């Protein structure tokens, strides 16, 4: 059965390039990103892991732990990391899970028969501190992920988890946000001290409350 937003992210134990982990224990009380790759030594994924490594400090600022998973074994991962570090001019410091038996792939519904009966699809999952699934994106093999968008979504998820706001199309950290419909205009005026801009009764903007 496929995972849906709001479902608990399945826990698992696995060997990784940084040792054996329990997934939920590894995440602790922070956020997590789990993203998959069909196999080691694949070109698009090499650039993606390099980009993730380049953004390690950005993820750390947001209290996000990143893990990658591939169906190859840990020793293969370690060799691939050497290539990633060399070609992308980075140092991969996050775990890559060895999933030869496709345990994680099965738990997270990464085997799509219409795409491939054996290889995992390229899915990305964002998991909240409550261990609930907050977002999932699945990419085709030919299209590299946009990690600027992944960071943008993390910013939105963390903001909207703590305030009664939503983020509009193309929103970026620091820009105005939308007051959710659950908050009346009267309450919004009291709650959002920076003021609100009422475009329509259902469309009300306010400056980002945590800035």
Residues with catalytic annotation? 45
Residues 6+ apart with CB under 8 A from 197: 176, 204, 205, 206
Structure-token pair, residue 141? 């093999």
Q: Tell me, what DSSP letter sits at residue 38? A: S
Q: What sections of the chain are H helices per DSSP?
A: 23-27, 43-54, 56-61, 74-88, 103-107, 147-162, 185-191
The residue count for the chain: 211
Query: How far is the CA of 114 from the CAs of 75, 162, 211, in angstroms?
Result: 30, 39, 45
CB-count exposure of residue 15 (10 Å: 0-12, 13-18, 19+): middle
Q: Is 188 helix (H, G, I), strand (E, B) or coil?
A: helix
Strands laid side by side in the 165-166 sheet: 165-166, 177-179, 203-206, 197-200
Q: Is 149 helix (H, G, I), strand (E, B) or coil?
A: helix
Cα end-to-end span (Å), the chain: 40
């Amino acid at each position: 059965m496929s995972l849906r937003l709001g479902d608990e992210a399945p826990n698992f134990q696995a060997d990784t390039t940084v040792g054996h982990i329990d997934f939920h224990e590894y995440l602790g009380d922070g956020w997590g990103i789990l993203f998959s790759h069909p196999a080691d030594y694949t070109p698009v994924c090499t650039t993606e892991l390099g980009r993730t490594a380049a953004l390690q400090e950005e993820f750390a600022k947001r209290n996000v732990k990143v893990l990658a998973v591939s169906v190859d074994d840990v020793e293969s991962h370690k060799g691939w990391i050497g290539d990633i570090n060399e070609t992308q001019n980075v140092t991969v410091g996050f775990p890559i899970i060895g999933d030869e038996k496709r345990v994680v792939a099965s738990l997270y519904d990464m085997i799509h028969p219409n795409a491939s009966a054996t290889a995992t699809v390229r899915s990305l999952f964002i998991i909240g501190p409550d261990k609930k699934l907050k977002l999932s994106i699945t990419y085709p093999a030919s299209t590299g992920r946009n990690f600027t968008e992944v960071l943008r979504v993390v910013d939105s998820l963390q903001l909207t988890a703590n305030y009664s706001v939503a983020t509009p199309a193309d929103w970026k950290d620091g820009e105005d946000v939308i007051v959710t419909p659950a908050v009346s205009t009267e309450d919004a005026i009291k709650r959002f001290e920076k003021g609100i801009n009422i475009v329509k009764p259902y469309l009300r903007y306010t400056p980002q409350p945590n800035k």
